[in-house]
Structure 1
Amino acid sequence: MQITSFLYYFLFVCLCFDFAQNQPNENPRRQRRRMSYRRSRKGSSAYRRPNRLLQLKTSATVTVVPIIPLINIDDGITEIFDSLIGLGGHESSYSVLPGKKGHCTANGMMMYDKAVWSPKPCITCLCSKGKVICDETTCLPLTCHRTVIPEGECCPVCSDIVLNISLDDTPEISGASPEPNDPSDPVLLQPLHIQTEMDELFRQEKEKFKGREKKIHKKDNKKTKEKKSQEEKKRHDHEAHQKVEEELRREEERRRAYEKEELQIEKEEEEKRKENKHPEQERKQQKSEEEEDEHILRGDVFRIPLRFPIPEPPAETPPLPTGCSNSDTTVSCINAKLTQIPPITDPELTSLELEGNSITSIPDEAFNGIPNLERLDLGKNNITSPGIGPQAFKILKKLKRLYMDGNALVHIPPELPSTLEELKINENHLHAIDEDSLQELKNLVTLELEGNKLSEANVSPLAFRPLKSLSYLRLGRNKFRTIPQGLPTSIQELYLENNQIEEISEICFNHTSNINIIVLKHNQLEESRIAPLAWINQENLESIDLSYNKLYHVPSYLPKSLLHLVLIGNQIERIPGYVFGHMKPGLEYLYLSFNKLNNDGIDPLSFYGAYRTLRELFLDHNELKFVPFGITDMKALTFLRLNNNKIRTVPTERICQSTVKDDNVDDDSDEEEEEGEVEDSRLEHLHLENNYINTRDLSPYAFSCIRSYSSVVLKPQKIK
């Protein structure tokens, strides 16, 4: 009996021990399920939203479903609210019916413990031991361009992502991943009609999404079709353009092949004649040439055509500023109130006019869009030397004409293009030209630097040496006292008016053998300060202008080749004899207006050497009392001005020679003399107004050599 009792006791202890051992194993198992559930949540979407506002009313016979499945439209992963898991530090038991304790009141309704409902959209509440715990849906910001909030949802989604979602592929609802044989699995314990209700909700949700998806697909299909039609049209145009280019290229290759073959045949025939090749070799070579011809001719058919890159469409040119106009290859912005050079991008532009604006600087990139510019006018602006970038003009490889008159430059701009042929920097503040200022301008033909502050002290003797092609140089309105040194040998025209030049030395024009015109008017020259050998040996110097200087008589030792001499506005009182005698072929134009000439300062020898060549003689505005001697000997004279003098009478033979018939001379000799009269005088214009001539006392033969009396100007005359 004792043995039997002991055996029962032993079995009871074993059962208790086994029960105690199985009880702690249950918690790790549930803990593992909880961890698995949390891991699945970490891999899901970054935000959560309820699929439908779900309110579940519980009764004494119905078990509340604690896990609310949510469909994530973004990536199709099922999620579960955090607030429904592990509340209060323990997991609720769904295997027992809820009791009366722990009820919650919401909106006048009694909610049992663990009941779930949505008082407002996007908010889900839970009754936990008499306390209401609510969870609000949170939405994270999206990075897509277009967003859409689906019907019944809380958070926006990318519209392009919605299009790609298929609700048929929605994964099965996953939660805590319960083991299939777990007796505490709430999904296995939930009633059948609750599961049916949830399936119905899923089905309705699928139908709604499918309807919205169809509408969006229709809109996108329409847009896609329009886009495809446009792309198809562009593609057809591009293919047609490519075909035309391909045909032209083939035609050009075919033509070149023909020309090349003809040249090759000619060369080979010439070589055959020289080498006298064997007939058999000639036939083989001819056959190979025919095969090569066939290959060339058929190359367009059998060879794969080259793929040319599709040319990119030209970039849109920014509109021109207000006040600018465009004509062919010229842009004109004259007086357009610009403060900077406008950004123009036109490689075909060759002329740009920016005169009369308020531009102050020229940056290095100012002309990057117009590299083929040939003419640039920047006159009458406020450009300063520091405002010009060191590389501003370097990109203009084709620039030929640059005008910068009327600015505030103190130095010649640096790095000017070597293609420059004409440079004008008049009316600035230039005060120095060093030996590097005009470097590389070997093609420069015209240089104008008038109206500056230049003098022989600040212009280097080597400044003009690089100008190998210079022929036209203007240095007027500066502060030169002597002729600048180092003038290039190519110089042909030199303008130095309105300076302070006092003398002309013997070495001034030693290296200017091609000089043709010298203008020295409005200076301080005297005849004694002009060296005898200054220009007498110049062979091409034809014109000298010495107007408005301090000359008292016509200078001696003038160039032998001189044709045109201007001495207006001096104080000349005398024309020395033989002063023009050494000139060959002879002086043609002599202007002595506004001087102090009287009859004592002019004699027949004054015009010696110019009688047969002088065409125009201006002696107006002097102090002559009668017509000078020697006018009748000027056989080539066509224009004579004697107005504004003190002449009182015009003798018959002083301007025109009169011939008196002699009875002893036969008629033939008379005819010869008359013919000689017609050929002797060529005078066409005569001015005698503003003198003291009494026109009634004039002889009818005084102007008989002048072909038209309308060319003789006698009125008005001064009153005695």
Structure 2
Amino acid sequence: MTMLQSVLLLLLSVPLIKLAPPAQQDPRITYHYGTDHSEETLFSQDSEDKYLDRKNIKEKETVILPDEKSVQLQKDESVTPPSPKKESDEMPTCLLCVCLSGSVYCEEVDIDAVPPLPKESAYLYARFNKIKKLTAKDFADIPNLRRLDFTGNLIEDIEDGTFSKLSLLEELTLAENQLLKLPVLPPKLTLFNAKYNKIKSRGIKANTFKKLNNLSFLYLDHNALESVPLNLPESLRVIHLQFNNITSITDDTFCKANDTRYIRDRIEEIRLEGNPIILGKHPNSFICLKRLPVGSYF
């Protein structure tokens, strides 16, 4: 081989050697690897975002559902009336007054009439109100009443049949009102209190107290009586008639003029002070009593 042939052979082999490195670093392979990795990253990120979105939606739904149920329950509760309302419909007075074990306390609540009472009521305290009248309808359906107290009202009139059905009534207090006369009283009264009214003698019928065989306490002080009421029952223990306009009494007022042996031993106290009467002028009027009446004798 000549020198020329060797040089040509060398020149031909050089390009082949230089072209080999580019063939080892194919740019397409690098591009495809990079593209595949980025798409995988984007896919995984998108999947994670969607997963989180779905998770958030589920969490919101789980939170919302109980709220909707609770709201529905609240609506149901607001629509359904509570049980006490039924009781209050049956006993409306107990919303204004205090009802306790058969006793009704309606004191200082500014009522102007007797309120509807529970049928089992035994005691009514309606003191210091603005009641002006008592009627038969007020107690028609309350037969178990044993005590009524209307102290400090404005009562001017009481129908005669008001207490006719109260066969168990034992105590009746009408003190500090505007009464001019007395109604028919129930037969089993043990106490009757009508002090501080405007009652005159003509406002008390002759037989008002005659049949009250259980009456022990009678309070008619601070009225406008001109005489002691007639036919006072034998059962009386205390009689208060002080501060009226009583000017005279007779031998039959407390005793029996035709029976000198008669003794009225149950009476413990009679008060007549504050009346325009000199008790010392009527000595025979107290002959049947164990104690003299309280009042002026001179």
Instruction: Tell me which amino acid in the other structure corresponds to 1:537.
Output: C
**Is contact 2:102-2:122 (8 Å) kept?**
yes
SS at match of 2:208: coil
The Cα of 1:424 is off from its aligned counterpart by 0.5
Instruction: Tell me which amino acid in the other structure corresponds to 2:246.
Output: I
1:314–1:405: structure 2 CA closer, same or farther, 3 Å change rule? closer
**Is contact 1:426-1:449 (8 Å) kept?**
yes
1:341–1:383: structure 2 CA closer, same or farther, 3 Å change rule? farther
1:344-391 deviation per Cα after TM superposition (whole angstroms, max 9, x unaligned):
89997311111112111126xx11xx2221211111111011xx4432
Name the counterpart of 1:362: 114
Instruction: Extract unaligned runs of 5+ from structure 2.
Output: 1-68, 70-82, 257-262
Equivalent-residue separation in structure 2 for 1:470 and 1:462 (angstroms): 14
Name the counterpart of 2:216: 471
The Cα of 1:342 is off from its aligned counterpart by 4.9
Equivalent-residue separation in structure 1 for 2:135 and 2:162 (angstroms): 10
The Cα of 1:314 is off from its aligned counterpart by 8.9
1:69-88 correspondence runs (5 A): none
SS at match of 1:391: helix
**Is contact 1:481-1:499 (8 Å) kept?**
yes
Q: Does 1:500 align with 2:270?
A: no
**Is contact 1:494-1:517 (8 Å) kept?**
yes
- State, as a whole percentage, how many aligned pairs show the same letter: 24
Bigger proportion of residues as helix: 2
Paired residues, what number? 206
Equivalent-residue separation in structure 1 for 2:128 and 2:246 (angstroms): 29
Q: Does 1:430 align with 2:179?
A: yes
Name the counterpart of 2:130: 382
Name the counterpart of 1:401: 147
The Cα of 1:503 is off from its aligned counterpart by 2.0
Instruction: Tell me which amino acid in the other structure corresponds to 2:234.
Output: T
Select which of 518, 523, 537 maps to 2:275.
523
Name the counterpart of 1:411: 157
Select which of 55, 73, 87 maps to 1:317.
87
Give the TM-score normalised by the residue count of structure 2.
0.61
Instruction: Extract unaligned runs of 5+ from structure 1.
Output: 1-222, 224-312, 320-339, 553-720
1:466-518 deviation per Cα after TM superposition (whole angstroms, max 9, x unaligned):
32210100000011122111212211110001112222211101369332210
**Is contact 2:123-2:145 (8 Å) kept?**
yes
**Is contact 2:216-2:238 (8 Å) kept?**
yes
Looking at both structures, which has the greater relative contact order when contacts are Cα pairs under 8 Å and sequence separation is at least 6? Answer: 2
Instruction: Tell me which amino acid in the other structure corresponds to 2:119.
Output: P
Equivalent-residue separation in structure 2 for 1:446 and 1:507 (angstroms): 23
Give the TM-score normalised by the residue count of structure 1.
0.27
Larger Rg: 1
1:73-152 correspondence runs (5 A): none
Equivalent-residue separation in structure 2 for 1:453 and 1:396 (angstroms): 29
1:568-592 deviation per Cα after TM superposition (whole angstroms, max 9, x unaligned):
xxxxxxxxxxxxxxxxxxxxxxxxx
1:282-314 deviation per Cα after TM superposition (whole angstroms, max 9, x unaligned):
xxxxxxxxxxxxxxxxxxxxxxxxxxxxxxx99
1:494–1:347: structure 2 CA closer, same or farther, 3 Å change rule? closer
Equivalent-residue separation in structure 2 for 1:522 and 1:346 (angstroms): 39
**Is contact 2:218-2:239 (8 Å) kept?**
yes
Equivalent-residue separation in structure 1 for 2:245 and 2:98 (angstroms): 47
SS at match of 1:362: coil
1:239-290 deviation per Cα after TM superposition (whole angstroms, max 9, x unaligned):
xxxxxxxxxxxxxxxxxxxxxxxxxxxxxxxxxxxxxxxxxxxxxxxxxxxx
The Cα of 1:444 is off from its aligned counterpart by 0.7
Q: Does 1:534 align with 2:298?
A: no
Instruction: Tell me which amino acid in the other structure corresponds to 1:382.
Output: K
1:345–1:487: structure 2 CA closer, same or farther, 3 Å change rule? closer
Q: Which 4+ residue blocks in structure 1 deviate beyond 4 angstroms?
A: 340-348
**Is contact 1:318-1:344 (8 Å) kept?**
no
The Cα of 1:462 is off from its aligned counterpart by 1.0
The Cα of 1:397 is off from its aligned counterpart by 2.1
The Cα of 1:522 is off from its aligned counterpart by 1.4
**Is contact 1:503-1:529 (8 Å) kept?**
no
Instruction: Tell me which amino acid in the other structure corresponds to 2:143.
Output: K
**Is contact 2:135-2:158 (8 Å) kept?**
no
Equivalent-residue separation in structure 2 for 1:428 and 1:346 (angstroms): 23
Equivalent-residue separation in structure 2 for 1:489 and 1:391 (angstroms): 32
Equivalent-residue separation in structure 1 for 2:232 and 2:97 (angstroms): 40
The Cα of 1:454 is off from its aligned counterpart by 1.2
Equivalent-residue separation in structure 2 for 1:528 and 1:347 (angstroms): 51
**Is contact 1:444-1:467 (8 Å) kept?**
yes
Name the counterpart of 2:65: none
Equivalent-residue separation in structure 1 for 2:219 and 2:97 (angstroms): 35
Equivalent-residue separation in structure 2 for 1:464 and 1:402 (angstroms): 18
1:585-626 deviation per Cα after TM superposition (whole angstroms, max 9, x unaligned):
xxxxxxxxxxxxxxxxxxxxxxxxxxxxxxxxxxxxxxxxxx
1:9-408 correspondence runs (5 A): 316-318=86-88, 341-342=93-94, 349-362=101-114, 366-367=116-117, 370-385=118-133, 388-408=134-154
**Is contact 2:98-2:104 (8 Å) kept?**
no
Aligned alpha-carbon RMSD (Å): 3.0
1:485–1:389: structure 2 CA closer, same or farther, 3 Å change rule? closer
1:580-659 correspondence runs (5 A): none
Instruction: Tell me which amino acid in the other structure corresponds to 1:415.
Output: T
Equivalent-residue separation in structure 2 for 1:409 and 1:529 (angstroms): 37
**Is contact 2:97-2:104 (8 Å) kept?**
no
1:403–1:345: structure 2 CA closer, same or farther, 3 Å change rule? closer
